[in-house]
Chain A
Amino acid sequence: MNRPTIRAWQVGAVLWAALAIPPVRHALESTMTMQMLVQILLLALSGWWLARAVPPRLGRHLASWDRSGISGLLLASLTGLVWMLPRMLDAALDEPVIELAKFLSVPVLMGAPIALSWPRAGFVVRGVVLTELTATAFRLGWMYLISPVRLCSNYLLDDQQQLGRCLLAIGAAIVLVLAWKLMWGHADVGDGHRGNSRAGPE
């Protein structure tokens, strides 16, 4: 009966280590689409799980600086923004330092903050984040799709357009899911599970 002893953060650590294995890394960086939509998302997911290892005391302390999850989600958004720059996708392949920065910053500054802050976020904050996420997927997808020049020196043009199509599809999927939830789901207006101090105007 080993199962109950496996902790979420251990899963995160294993996932992170697996992503760092050179053949896995190279496979996931072989196309622009894989790097941005698979590798970076899995790195964020590993951070999401690793965040379970944050001790409750530290968690409470962080929460007092993170009303409605705003600080954490801002940190995650900005980190995501950096790793959306075509230049960074290129540099991660060419420069080991940047690759290391990606492997550290995406889990720690993006995945983990989302895990900690999302439950604290209310309807408005979640709405803002999801709207911006959708808009970014459409903007970026459209840009990649119509750009006649390669934005990454390491990747081919049709790969870039493929990423553009995937981003448009993701944007559309988010919109559909949200529309579904708003119409037929129970709209989670208000609180996550750590419901302290969030009665305010949100």
Chain B
Amino acid sequence: MSVLRTLLASLLILAAGVATLAAATDGFRAFTSETARRVDVRAHPRALPAVPLQTAGGQITSAAALRGRWLLVEFIYTRCMTYCSVQGGEFARLQRELAAPIAADKVVLVSVSFDPGRDGPAQLADYQRRFGDDGEGWIAVRPTSERDLAALMRVFGTTAVPDGLGGFVHNAAIAVVDPAGRLVAIMDWNDPDGAARYVMRRLAP
């Protein structure tokens, strides 16, 4: 009797366990939170919060003001010596690669600082200059309050952890925002070609 009961209990536990694991990994696809955010964003595009953003020129813009174009968004802090120093170069390359749609005002590259306390307009401008910005279709911005920053990072699923040396370690990536202002995809930070292809495919009629 207790053998059958144990068998039954074990089978139920096993079924519940597998179901839980499946739910916790988006059907065994996402074992890390980084994969999970990518899977989730593709399945459920997220609307960007309408927070003000200050550009390297000092003006205020916002996600709403940028609507109608495809946005390629990266999160950075300008003192970064690791990822972002390469990220900046990749964005400059994207700027050249996407020159045509940028000229047609269909694509804008956006570098968002998650360290707005230290990254003022001057630092943002310097960041773009350092990586060879040609002046067209690439803006560097910072949120104007910690609350806006938190809201923005939450929607994008960006996490920045202090590295103990005064900098941050962060899940660098290229996020794609569609003309309706929704985050629709997240690509590897070192795959700008993939991001460019993604946008070009959707721009082509």
Give chain A's interface residues, CB within 8 Å of chain B.
Answer: 63-68, 70-71, 74-75, 78-79, 81-82, 85-88, 90-91, 94, 150-157, 197
Contacts and interface: CB of A to CB of B under 8 A. Distances in A.
Interface in B1-37: 1-3, 5-6, 8-10, 13-14, 16-17, 20-21, 24-25, 30-36
B2 A152 contact: no
B31 A85 contact: yes
Interface of B: 1-3, 5-6, 8-10, 13-14, 16-17, 20-21, 24-25, 30-36, 157, 159, 161, 163-164, 169, 171
A66 B5 CA distance: 8
A195 to B, nearest CB: 14
Nearest to B158: A153
The DSSP consensus for interface residues of chain A is helix
Contact of B2 (A86, A88, A151, A197): A197
23 contacts: A63-B2, A64-B1, A67-B2, A67-B6, A68-B6, A70-B10, A71-B10, A74-B10, A74-B13, A75-B17, A78-B16, A85-B24, A87-B30, A87-B31, A87-B35, A87-B36, A88-B24, A90-B32, A150-B34, A151-B32, A153-B157, A156-B161, A156-B169
Contacts of B163: 156
Nearest to B26: A87
Nearest to A79: B17
Contacts of A70: 6, 10
Given A65-B9, A71-B10, A87 B32 contact: yes
Nearest to B14: A74
Contacts of A155: 161
Contacts of A157: 169
Nearest to B164: A156
B26 to A, nearest CB: 9
B3 A152 contact: no
B6 A154 contact: no
A25 B20 CA distance: 25
A75 B169 contact: no
A82 B159 CA distance: 22
B13 A71 contact: yes
B20 A82 contact: yes
